[in-house]
Structure 1
Amino acid sequence: MNLMCRRCRIVNLMTLILFLVSWYHNLLTVSSDTPPDIKTGAALTIVQNEENDDGDGEVTVEENGDGDIEQEPPELFKPSKDWKTVKQGQAVPQGLHVRLNLETGEREAKLVEGYHGFERIKSKDNGGSLFSEKTKFTQEELKKALRDFSGMDLREEEEYSKNAEEVKKKFRSYKELKEDFVKINMDIKTEGEIITEMVKQLNKPDITAKDKLQVLSELEYLLHQIDNAVLFSDLGGLELAIKALNDTDSDIKAEATMVLGSALQSNPKVQVLALQTSAMQMFLSLITEESSVAQRSKALFALSSLIRQFPVAQKKFLDFGGLTALASLFHRSGMEKLQVKAVTLLNDLLQEQQSFQVLANLNDPKQKEKLQQYEEVHLEAALQEKGFCDLLPPLLFLPDHDSREKILHAMRTLGSPCHSYFNKAQSILLQLQSEYQKLADEEVAESDKYFTSMLNSVKAVISSLNLKEEL
């Protein structure tokens, strides 16, 4: 390694010496005269120091014995403000406009307008020079420059070695990084592998309540993806989650409900599998009997995920007394938010059924079969029978606009079967119309017309009631 470094230094020195020799020779050719202390016949030589074998050479300047050599400098082109032809062999100072005359084929040059730097340039006859800076060097100056360059190279090499060691200390080697990556890669698991492992943990008889709650919490996040929920069901996860609904720990019961709701949401395959279990009965039981409002809300979410876009499940919902369970929410105080959620679900189911009856393609066997299934779900009549027509108007007294909006939408959907019941709410409807008229008048921006929309909803309900009254 040391030998290679020495060779590199020698090569660098030789390159530098050749550059300086060439530079020095060029200076001699363009200088107007030669100072007495400069020998034009001098040569640069590297002399090996026999007493030191470390490879460093001593730089000397030797005389070649030819004496001084007088060399005629090139003629200087004298510029003016006008274009002048540059004769062959003339030296053109820097900073001039230079062009090639296409007609004559000759080079022409002139002074840059407003530039006075060339007034200081003197011709050879006046003892001047083309260069303003010193362009001649003595032997001692050259020797000193070469020694400085040599010492500079050694210092830079030492500094580079020191910096390299510091870099090695700060950063790990490629081999170390590769080993760490292998370790990390070994610990990476797919979501499918994670779900499989979690189902195994839930199935352990000795799992602690803390671990079970942690597993259910992580599953609730993963099962929003359809493929993950299907895998969870195929592994028997539905039965394990339904079993957890009977747990004495309220937190585990609530988390298991959310797991089922996430797995069922917009997932037909899981909905079909869940309908074959006791999931619906468990959800209805929680809605009816659970004392916690939060737990009832989670159970309503899970029930909604099970029966949406699934007419067979909607029929079972009616058969299992689902409307009775939802109506029980209206007989307890402090359940207003849950009541609005229940009304929203029922309104969505009615609109879902009505939309499919209009848009169904009877030439498609599957859609035709699904249409027949919807026709067996007599939801509108069941709502009237279970007293929901009386339960809706009082919710218009709720102070928040969002709840009112949802109730107004439901009243428009149920306007026909519940006409006589809603007609009794004309006073509250007129009161809302006056309130939203004032709020709509205060709206300025065209992009913000929320209260105008609310006003139109109130007017639509009143109009439908008056129209049916006239008929």
Structure 2
Amino acid sequence: MAFRVLLLCAVLFCVASSHDSPERAFALSTTEGSRAEEDLTGEAVVEDELDPEDQQVFHPTHEWQVVRPGQAVPAGLHVRLNLQSGINEARLPDTEATAQKRVKQEHRLGLDPSLYTPQGLKRALAKLKEDMNADAPEEKTRKEDLKQRFRPIEELKQEFERLHMNIESDFQIMARLIKILNSSTSTVEQKSAALYDLEYYVHQVDNAQDLLPLGGLQLVVNGLNSTEPLLRERSAFVLGSALSSNPRVQVKAMEGGALQKLLVILATEQPLPVKKKALFALSSMLRQFPYAQQQFLRLGGLDVLKGLSRERGAQTLSVRVVTLLYDLMVEKQILLDDGKYNELGSEKIQQYSQVDLAEAIQDQGWCTLISDLLGVPDHDHREKVLQTLNVLLSTCREPFRTNGQLNTTLDILRKEYEDLVKEEKNDGDDDGYFKELHNLVIDFTEGLR
């Protein structure tokens, strides 16, 4: 392509040069450029032409030949300047037969003889410019593909601006939900939906703490007294999620009377879903909060939980109660065993020292109540009961030993889990789940001796 451009430019140059002198019709005589020589006096003498004896004769043919410096070119030849080498070339004009032969050869090579006229060269150069500016089909396809895959930057900027205007922060969303809860014109369905959405946000510690300046925590605590069971249930659910591992919210909830309201729900007749969520909120309130544990015992919380575990059809609640008691006892035991009391501060140490949950469990008859739960059929429930029995072993040893039903249940469980362990081993599992349960049964049985 580059060679064709150079060739076209050269021919155009020759045509333009001869256009003003038609009589020459490309017949150019060239001589070696005149050189200036200095004579002895220092003046320059210009030789207008060479002596005929010093000139070499150029013998043209119908093929292009190099014109050497000093060669005389006969008139009537076609002359061109090779732009690649910078050398003059000349040849004889084509006869009619030679011209036809050359035209055929150029057609075979894809060349158009009309290109070598001034008009043809102009058209060729114009077309070349258009081709350079025009995209190839592949390039057009690529650009169309990019347009479909990517949106213009200006359109994206406008879209982001619109999105930015509509984006709400968690704080703003919570403020809007709390406004619905606090409105006297909101329906039960609207408040229920607001509590449902609010529970999602308060899982995060920072969002739960944002309930305090927004006044949302007290609204949720007050919702525990709602006359609508659904609102009581969802208020307890939001409260439990906000209290989990969040000491600041735990303190504010205690100050707002949440503990007393939760105990009232658990001690009175309520739908089962309401009691489940209330027990969840109570568990979140008591964990890692010794002051709340102390107040729980003072308000008769163990009696409330004992009544809850005796309700008909409340077996799931009973296991959750046992799990809560187990967690509270292990929490204090771990702190004592690991020597972490010094890291808690004097006030919290004093609060933990006033919480004697194990003694309260023995005094209020929980030893027999918990051991009776060992007969539940669910393996997961049995695991939690066995863990609690092992923790209470030192406190409830005598009630456990004198409980004939407990000893019978332990024998049954030992044989059951021995068979299940054998099945696990046959399946290639030497340390399976049932082996853990079997070990719990063995440890507790040996601890009773």
Query: Could you tell me the TM-score, scaled by structure 2's length?
Result: 0.70
What is the aligned partner in structure 2 of residue 452 from structure 1?
435
1:36-69 per-position Cα deviation (integer Å, ceiling 9, x unaligned): xxxxxxx754999xxxxxxxxxxxxx98895434
| Percent of residue pairs bearing the same amino acid type | 36
Residues 248-275 of structure 1 show CA distances to partners (whole Å, capped at 9, x for unaligned) of 3322221111110011000011111111
The one-letter amino acid paired with 1:392 is I
Tell me what 1:213 maps to: 192
Say whether the 8 Å CA contact 1:283–1:299 is kept in structure 2.
yes
Q: Which amino acid aligns with 1:464?
A: G
RMSD: 3.6
AA matched with 1:139: E
Q: Match of 2:345, SS?
A: helix
- Counterpart check, 1:339 vs 2:307: no
* In 2: Cα distance, 1:263 partner to 1:412 partner: 32
2:383 matched residue in structure 1: 405
- Aligned ranges 1:152-167 → 2 under 5 Å: 153=131
Question: What is the match of residue 464 of structure 1?
Answer: 447
Residue 62 of structure 2 corresponds to residue 68 of structure 1: yes
Offset at residue 158 of structure 1 (A): 9.7
**Distance between the aligned counterparts of 2:140 and 2:416, measured in 1?**
82
Q: Which residue of 1 aligns with 2:236?
A: 257
After the TM superposition, which residues 21-40 of structure 1 pair with which residues of structure 2 at under 5 Å, given as runs?
A: none
Equivalent pair of 2:424/2:432 in contact (CA under 8 Å): yes
Q: Identify the residue that residue 102 of structure 1 maps to in structure 2.
A: none
CA contact (8 A) 1:329 1:338 kept: yes
Structure 1 residue 18 corresponds to structure 2 residue 5: yes
Letter in 2 for 1:399: P
* 1:277 Cα offset (Å): 1.6
Partner of 1:138 in structure 2?
105
Contact 2:14–2:26 under 8 Å retained in 1? no
After superposition, give the CA deviation of every residue in 1:281-313 in whole Å (9 maximum; x if it has no partner): 111122222432221111111000001111110
Q: Which residue does the alignment assign to 1:429?
A: 410
What whole-Å deviation, never above 9, does each CA across 1:89-146 have from its counterpart, x for those lacking one? xxxxxxxxxxxxxxxxxxxxxxxxxxxxxxxxxxxxxxxxxxxxxxx98233443498
Amino acid at match of 1:317: F
- Contact kept? 1:360, 1:367, Cα under 8 Å: no
In 1, distance between residues paired with 2:148 and 2:397?
A: 83
CA distance in 1, matches of 2:364, 2:233: 28
Partner of 1:392, secondary structure, is helix
Are the counterparts in 1 of residues 240 and 280 from structure 2 also a CA contact under 8 Å?
A: yes
TM-score by structure 1 length? Answer: 0.67
Uncovered stretches (5+) of structure 1, i.e. residues with no partner: 1-12, 23-42, 49-61, 73-135, 467-471
Count of aligned positions: 357
In the alignment, is the contact (CA less than 8 A) between 2:221 and 2:253 conserved in 1?
Answer: no
Query: SS of the residue aligned with 2:225?
Result: coil
Report what 2:345 is aligned to.
367
In the TM superposition, what are the counterparts of 1:7-156 in structure 2 within 5 Å? 15=2, 17-18=4-5, 44-45=11-12, 67-69=61-63, 138-140=105-107, 141-144=109-112, 150=127, 153=131
Paired letter, 2:278? A
1:91 aligns to what?
Answer: none
Contact 1:361 1:367 in 2 (8 A): no
Contact 2:287–2:328, Cα closer than 8 Å, also in 1: yes
Once residues 395 and 319 of structure 1 are traced to their aligned partners in structure 2, the CA distance between those partners, rounded to angstroms, is 26
Q: Distance in 2 between matches of 1:187 and 1:221?
A: 20
Distance 1:244 1:143, change over 3 A: same
- The separation in 2 between residues aligned to 1:168 and 1:363, in whole angstroms, is 66
CA–CA distance in structure 2, aligned partners of residues 374 and 155 of structure 1: 84
Aligned twin of 1:354:
333
* Per-residue deviation, 1:447: 6.4
Shift of 1:187: 1.4
CA apart distance, 1:219 = 1.1
Report if the CA contact (8 A) 2:424-2:430 is conserved. Answer: no
Q: Say if 1:262 and 1:167 are closer, same or farther in 2 by CA, change over 3 A.
A: closer
The answer to whether 1:174 aligns with 2:142 is no
